[in-house]
A and B are shown apart, each in its own frame.
Chain A
Amino acid sequence: MEPDVSIETSCMIRIAVLPVGTVPASVLRDYFSMFLRHHTIPLAAISSFYTEHQKSPFAHQPWDAGSIRFKFLLGGAPPSPWEDFQSNRKILAVIGICHCPSTPDLDSAVEQFTAACKNYSSALVQRCFAFCPCDSQLEDGGKKEDVLRLFPPADHQTLDIHLQTMMQEIAASLLMDFEKWVLKAESAGTILKTPLDSQASLSSEEVLKAKKRRLGRAQKTIGDYCLLAGSPVDASAHYSTALELARLTGDFFWYAGALEGSVCALLMDRVGHVDVVLEDEVKYQYNNVILHYRKSFIQDNAQRVSPLSFELEATLKLARFLCRSKLSKDVVELLTNAADGGKSLIDVNDRLVLFVEIARLFGTLGYQRKAAFFSRQVAQLYLQQDNKFAATSAMQVLAMTTKAYRVQSKASVSDPPCTKKQTGPSHTDSGKMHHHLIVSLFESQWSTLQMVVLREILLSAVRAGDPLTAWSAAARLLRQYYPLITPAGQNGLASALNNSAERLPSGTRSADPALPFVRLHSFPLHPSQMDIIKRSPAREDWWAGSAPSGPFIYTPFSKGEPNDNSKQELVWIVGEPVQVLVELANPCAFDLRVDSMYLTVHSGSFDAFPISVDLPPNSSKVITLSGIPTSVGPITIPGCTVHCFGVITEHHFRDVDNLLLGAAQGLVLSDPFRSCGSAKLRNLSVPSISVVPPLPLLVSHVVGGDGAIILYEGEIRDIWISLANAGTVPVEQAHISLSGKNQDSIISIPYETLKSVLPLKPGAEVILPLTLKAWQLGPMDFEIGGGRAATSGSTGRQFKNASVPTLLIHYAGPSTDSEDATIAKVSNLPPGRRLVLPLHVCVLPGMSLVKARLLSMEIPAHIGDGHPKPVHEEEDPASETVEESDRKMEKRLVKIDPYRGSWGLRFLELELSNPTDVVFEIGVSVQLDGTDDNNLPIDQDGNSEYGYPKTRIDRDYSARVLIPLEHFKLPVLDDSFFMREFCNEGSTSSSRSPSFSEKNTKAELNASIKSLISRIKVRWQSGRNSSGELNIKDAVHTALQTSVMDVLLPDPLTFGFRLTRDNSSPQQESGSKDSVLANDMAPMEVLVRNNTKEMIKMSLGISCRDVAGENCIEGGKSTVLWAGVLNGITMEVPPLQESKHSFSLYFLVPGEYTLVAAAVIEDANDVLRARAKTDSPDEPIYCRGPPFHVRVLGTA
């Protein structure tokens, strides 16, 4: 059988094209392709070379429209035993190709050619074409005109024309030879035999039969020559005679041959005008041909020779003819029959040719799967031959089937196979397009077929010695079908990969990735130290509104779609290393070593750092691939380059994504990552990455260590933060802001310090001082912290990072690179950065206030010489020296002045507990209004401050601190405080809204309480470094709320007693100056001070009681005598003045006595009534002074 047969084959003249001498393969190919262009020579063109020697037997030769056709066989072909039967099988001309530059000796070339021609006995014309001869060769070659044709060096076109002329000459000589042959054959007749009838012993009957048949066969052969000569009408005439004769003699084989020839003649005659009628005719005739070939099958020589190949060839010819008009059903039928017939073919090569042709025809029909099926049959036939060339052929044929089986190498696919014919009629369903797309990507369910094909490719490639193809096939097999391959098989493939790689030069690349599977895991965000913030050029605070600010991921007010992931952008910076996390999976049963692996960036603007990885069997691993962007602009990372199993391959992330998508839809066998136990990854959208020019980079650390700063509640501490520019660009703008919880714990922020050091050059450093005040722990924090501290006993860790305040430093480099920046450039403003600096403050529960309450105390005063100084008398600084005043103040604040009435003295008691394991020292200080007294030490607030001695509280102890509130009393009881209340009470009929004034009053009250509270400060200190302030405000506020009036407002009248000694009388040594002797007259004075702004009239009374509380002035058992008035003393005290009343007492019995002054105020005004909280205006207002003690000493 012959390859590439068609009906028209019968009219083609075969010309062997032989290389002569040394012809380089590429040159030979070039020359041969030149020949191929001249496969058809019009008869009209050869007339100049044609001379009619005698009358031409081709009477109806179409000189104007006809043509002669050539079929060039490079390298020639062995003579066929069927040459007599089909004249077109003869090689009728031989052309030698001689390349003169490589074959200098033309003589030997001619000899060689002549020798070669001897193998072609049927050749009528021999020519040797010598290309590119040199001058000497030209001269030399001119002598051998008969065989040698010289083609002087010329350009391609000229050469082509030259060649065309030569071919026309050949065609003319062939035509003349055909004429001769036909004339000879018609007259003499020739013996024409085929292998079918060349029996050794012919019976006489058969000889007779053969003679009869001879005439018919001669006519058939003449018809063949007519066809070759390009005269179909003549051919038709001879064929019809031949058919007649063959039928008569029962020569079915030749009948079929003649019929075949007549169909060819018909087609030649009607060239270019194929219609349905002609098609049907051809079909009918050829079916006849096939039938007759089958009829000619003779049983007795079937083992040796069979007309089957002619039958099959005829079938293929018809199929090829019908293929053109796409009568696919008929073609399929014919090809199926041919394939069936192939079983009976004796010669393996015939079967090979048959299957090749069937595959080609199916391919032409568009039946790719059928074509692939027969191609594989061809490959199997090749593989049965045990030689390297057959294996190479098998490999190449299999490579053609890979597309149909969807296992093609990536090297052969330029575009992803998006549009597939197979989707067919359902293609219109656009909603399913996506699904179809994926389906077309993975038709891996035909896994059995695919694995078989890949395995065969591997086998043939190994046999053919093509390591790269073998590697690629093994890689595809392993990567796509690992779940279907046993561990032993996987190991086998791994060793096949390694063996192939050993034969490859190092650094070989393959288009098909093997293992591992690589998918994009994530793009780690910039660490908060390196955040990049887009700058809005128009604004001073350029960072505002650019980054997602605030705690909400989604805000209904933000424009656009926040869920639009495609807009995700990533900014990389030239010269700063970046990282990309990828996940690798090795689902196979062997240890996988990835020799090197790095990110692939095609633009070349990225320096990737290769790493090597070891993956144990059935494992996955997330690794970090890093690199440095080197130039500004957008950058894409399609995948990574992997050097594994000795070959470099490129792994695209998209492929694995598709694979995983396919796995999710059940189209792919297995998800390699899941089978390795890796968690399902959310769909990661690859952000668009842009690279920007270098930016400044601030790095920070806390001076003295970056560890957590441990503070007790309320502790105040200074810290220093060092900022250094680690970038290559100076920082030109910087701004500090706060975020996070407990922002108010940062007391001072050094805005100015930072501003003053700008621009901060690369490498420069600045230290920012910061004052922190530890915040109060909430009840939650307390529980956690307390629990931990109790259980672990350690100082505790930071409770929650969330409660830590954060320092945000926005900074940026120079806004433009050059001065001549235009508006366009402004939009390209390089971004700024943000340094997020969480202050790692760990707040421990410190000193805590358990309770604050107000206490009243009665501490009786002693009557002495000195005039009891009312509190407010010190307002007159002239009365005493400054030193005395200081001393007294100090004294008074520290302890109670025993000579002053301290009845109803009020204290604020603070109960403090120390739950920690350190010692605290508590210092209470009280501020006084600096305006009152400018002699006092004045602090920065303009207020005087007094400190009480420190109180030490040991660990796990509680302590109480008393703060006297006496000096907070207002100096004057005036109506301003009550005015509104009176207005309210007095004029209920007035138009003013009572609620309004009530509110006002309350507000004023609250204000005064607040000012009172704010003047009390409780500071603590622990160890050398820790100090802070206790937050007591709320507790004090509640403690004072109810009785603030009593604290703040002075009594309308204050009373005091003193002894009025005669200074001249000798001082008594036995007692102190504040004691009185019994049985002696003790002159005394009672001092009444009016604290109001009104004159007060009163009726004063003095009583004296002994230790038992008995009145010892009146009654029967009175032990005290007196001089002067003690009861019903009517006094008038002018506003803010004191009045004295003198009297004398004579104590009969030594001991302790108590003197109390009391007064009934007459004609009390509203202020007094309000102060006394009287119910009715008629009620007398009674004022009582504090008790004074008098110690009476005995005379003995």
Chain B
Amino acid sequence: MATTASFIIVSRNDIPIYEAEVGSATKREDAAQLHQFVLHAALDIVQDLAWTTSAMFLKNIDRFNDLVVSVYVTAGHTRLMLLHDSRNDDGIKSFFQEVHELYIKVNFLQLGCSVHVLVFHLSIVEKN
């Protein structure tokens, strides 16, 4: 789907509960750090934006250089955030919806359990 992407789930306490570097681009450590910095900063935008709209999918809310941040805010104010460099909005939206479903399932089974997290991780990697 994307050449460079970083996916993160942020709990309502602003704590990241899941991180994954996805996408086909070669992974570099400093790039991954930058991705996290951008995503962390984008939380400020999401925080304001989420209360102005009823939509769950907030596309392209923030960007830095070529990196664009899209967010999916769940009802429980958990934020699924994707940092990407392409503009395939539909693909991103459907990705978010699938991840949300998975997230709900896994949440039932306690996200803390590492096995489920592994399953979750594999599913997400597969989707990209």
Residue pair B33, A452 in contact (C-beta under 8 Å): yes
A11 CA / B41 CA spacing, docked (Å)? 35
Residue pair B44, A336 in contact (C-beta under 8 Å): no
A445 CA / B43 CA spacing, docked (Å)? 14
> Which of chain A's residues has its CB closest to B48's CB?
A328
A356 CA / B8 CA spacing, docked (Å)? 28
A 342-386 binary contact with B (CB < 8 Å = 1; else 0): 010000000000000000001000011110110010000000000
Which residues of A lie under 8 Å from residue B112 when comparing CB positions? 666
A448 touching B44 in the complex, CB below 8 Å, given contacts A422-B14, A426-B12:
no
A329 touching B48 in the complex, CB below 8 Å, given contacts A336-B63, A369-B43:
yes
> Which of chain B's residues has its CB closest to A374's CB?
B41
A-B contact pairs, 5 of them (CB 8 A): A369-B43, A425-B51, A445-B15, A445-B16, A449-B33
Residue pair A362, B44 in contact (C-beta under 8 Å): yes
Whether a CB of chain A sits under 8 angstroms from the CB of B37 is yes
Minimal beta-carbon separation of A898 from chain B (angstroms): 99
> Which of chain B's residues has its CB closest to A424's CB?
B47
Whether a CB of chain B sits under 8 angstroms from the CB of A446 is yes
Residue pair A339, B44 in contact (C-beta under 8 Å): no
Whether a CB of chain B sits under 8 angstroms from the CB of A865 is no
Contacts beyond the supplied A329-B49, A422-B14: 5 A-B pairs with Cβ under 8 Å: A373-B40, A376-B37, A422-B47, A423-B13, A443-B15
Residue pair B44, A439 in contact (C-beta under 8 Å): no
Interface residues in A436-459 by Cβ distance below 8 A to B read 436, 439, 443, 445-446, 448-449, 452
Whether a CB of chain B sits under 8 angstroms from the CB of A858 is no
> Which of chain A's residues has its CB closest to B49's CB?
A329
Which residues of B lie under 8 Å from residue A1035 when comparing CB positions? none
Minimal beta-carbon separation of B74 from chain A (angstroms): 13
Partner of A426, one of B38, B48, B65, B77: B77
Partner of B45, one of A332, A343, A372, A439: A332
A846 CA / B8 CA spacing, docked (Å)? 79
A667 CA / B65 CA spacing, docked (Å)? 32
Whether a CB of chain A sits under 8 angstroms from the CB of B17 is yes
> Which of chain B's residues has its CB closest to A372's CB?
B41
A446 CA / B35 CA spacing, docked (Å)? 12
Chain B: residues with Cβ within 8 Å of the partner, total of 27
The tally of CB-CB contacts under 8 A between chains A and B is 64
Interface residues in A1086-1107 by Cβ distance below 8 A to B read none
Residue pair B36, A449 in contact (C-beta under 8 Å): yes
Residue pair B15, A667 in contact (C-beta under 8 Å): yes
Whether a CB of chain B sits under 8 angstroms from the CB of A1046 is no
Chain A: residues with Cβ within 8 Å of the partner, total of 31
Q: Report which A residues bind B (CB closer than 8 A).
A: 328-329, 332, 336, 339-340, 343, 362, 367-370, 372-373, 376, 405, 422-426, 436, 439, 443, 445-446, 448-449, 452, 666-667
Which residues of B lie under 8 Å from residue A424 when comparing CB positions? 47
Residue pair B41, A373 in contact (C-beta under 8 Å): yes
B 3-46 binary contact with A (CB < 8 Å = 1; else 0): 00000000011111100000000000000110011101101110
A738 CA / B74 CA spacing, docked (Å)? 70
A367 touching B14 in the complex, CB below 8 Å, given contacts A426-B77, A449-B33:
no
A368 CA / B48 CA spacing, docked (Å)? 13
Residue pair A340, B65 in contact (C-beta under 8 Å): yes
Residue pair B15, A339 in contact (C-beta under 8 Å): no
Minimal beta-carbon separation of B45 from chain A (angstroms): 6
A436 CA / B13 CA spacing, docked (Å)? 8
A448 touching B36 in the complex, CB below 8 Å, given contacts A373-B41, A439-B13:
yes
Q: Report which B residues bind A (CB closer than 8 A).
A: 12-17, 32-33, 36-38, 40-41, 43-45, 47-49, 51-52, 62-65, 77, 112
Minimal beta-carbon separation of B102 from chain A (angstroms): 20
Which residues of B lie under 8 Å from residue A436 when comparing CB positions? 13
Minimal beta-carbon separation of B111 from chain A (angstroms): 10
> Which of chain B's residues has its CB closest to A444's CB?
B15
Residue pair A443, B14 in contact (C-beta under 8 Å): yes
Minimal beta-carbon separation of A384 from chain B (angstroms): 14
Minimal beta-carbon separation of A319 from chain B (angstroms): 15
Residue pair A373, B37 in contact (C-beta under 8 Å): yes
Minimal beta-carbon separation of B60 from chain A (angstroms): 10
Residue pair A448, B14 in contact (C-beta under 8 Å): no
A982 CA / B73 CA spacing, docked (Å)? 105
Residue pair B45, A370 in contact (C-beta under 8 Å): yes
Minimal beta-carbon separation of B34 from chain A (angstroms): 9
Residue pair B65, A449 in contact (C-beta under 8 Å): no
> Which of chain A's residues has its CB closest to B43's CB?
A369
Which residues of A lie under 8 Å from residue B44 when comparing CB positions? 362, 367-370
Most chain B CB within a 10 A radius of its CB, from A367, A373, A452: A373
> Which of chain B's residues has its CB closest to A342's CB?
B65
Residue pair B36, A370 in contact (C-beta under 8 Å): no
> Which of chain A's residues has its CB closest to B76's CB?
A426
Which residues of B lie under 8 Å from residue A343 when comparing CB positions? 65
Which residues of B lie under 8 Å from residue A667 when comparing CB positions? 15
Minimal beta-carbon separation of A206 from chain B (angstroms): 37
A205 CA / B39 CA spacing, docked (Å)? 53
Partner of A369, one of B12, B40, B49, B77: B40
Which residues of B lie under 8 Å from residue A328 when comparing CB positions? 48
Which residues of A lie under 8 Å from residue B41 when comparing CB positions? 367, 369-370, 372-373
Residue pair A449, B37 in contact (C-beta under 8 Å): yes
Residue pair A446, B12 in contact (C-beta under 8 Å): no
Minimal beta-carbon separation of B14 from chain A (angstroms): 5
Partner of A373, one of B15, B17, B38: B38
A336 touching B62 in the complex, CB below 8 Å, given contacts A368-B44, A369-B43, A424-B47:
yes
A439 CA / B12 CA spacing, docked (Å)? 11
> Which of chain B's residues has its CB closest to A366's CB?
B44
Residue pair B33, A446 in contact (C-beta under 8 Å): no
